[in-house]
Structure 1
């Protein structure tokens, strides 16, 4: 794919939580080119609005092997905030045991964070104005929701069934 299409597809896949900018995409593509994980080809433009040729990126065999290697890692870096969303987006390419270890690691990390924040919250509640306290409460609720979601995913993985679907929203 060319850069614009790649960015659009990744943003669609990752959702609103992890919007990818061109300032992040192109340096990452250049790094992957230098490592030999992707190659670029110039193709003529097919649109009527631009005559400029497009650069299309394609994974190499080394790139596919690196993707498989990265998706098989299940240590702490796999469940940290910066990496979890992208790892989760590609879970269909991951072995079930690795998915479980990543989900359980993420849940454990969030539960630790939740305990720490709840402990601090009770100590600092008196010192905060109502907006700072609301922001803290909102953060705790977000982590609690994610822990619940992860627990459902883990249970579904172990049972070999799809995760529960959220109720459809009305337009």
Structure 2
């Protein structure tokens, strides 16, 4: 399995854990909610769904787009439009699929720190245990700090040979990485603060989310956060 197809499978399982969907709904959620899958097409999504069904992680259910068609005065069912009569396939997560997704959520290896994979992982942080979130965030920060160091070293070596526009592009890339590192620092501090608050709170006074361990996200003045998929690699 390629890294990109693995990310897609992870995202599909995560979305279907929230609720069953048909293919069009899935593609729309991948494009709009997660954003990192803007370039994915039906030609990519449906083979992925078939693989997940074959593995026993999803099941297909047939649902009608509309109720039974009305009958005519002669008692014959009115055909209506083709779209109104066409059945659609709804995909539902199985118990095995839920277990597999939870196993994927627990992984914190280097793949989870890469641009697109990190964005997908972050999209499902609400379903992820706190300790796993911390490891992913810290791993991502380390990866970006390594990248930033290489970018600075490269710029120092080549600065004199670059024209103004190329130099400006390099600076823009560095600023994007620096901005995400600052964002990650805020997230990590927020996670730690939430954990400390929970430990210091009287027993029974803490509130929990679906993962049981959310400390709350930092508030941003401009209500924006960096897009990991936009980083210069």
Report 1:1-171 matches (<5 A): 1-15=21-35, 17-19=36-38, 20-46=40-66, 50=83, 51-160=85-194, 161-167=215-221
Question: What's the CA shift string for 1:10-51, capped at 9, x where partnerless?
Answer: 223213x44243233222212211211111112111396713
Judge which range, 98-107 or 74-83, deviates more. Answer: 74-83
Offset, 1:168: 5.2
How far apart, in 1, do the equivalents of 2:41 and 2:183 lie? 28
Give the count of matched residue pairs.
168
More helix per residue: 1 or 2?
1
The TM-score normalised by the length of structure 1 is: 0.90
Q: CA RMSD in A?
A: 1.8
SS in 1 for 2:191: helix
Which one has the largest radius of gyration? 2
The TM-score normalised by the length of structure 2 is: 0.67
How far apart, in 2, do the equivalents of 1:4 and 1:131 lie? 42
Structure 2 unpaired stretches of 5+: 1-20, 68-80, 195-214, 224-233
Offset, 1:6: 1.0
How far apart, in 2, do the equivalents of 1:136 and 1:3 lie? 40
How far apart, in 2, do the equivalents of 1:58 and 1:25 lie? 15
How far apart, in 1, do the equivalents of 2:64 and 2:106 lie? 37
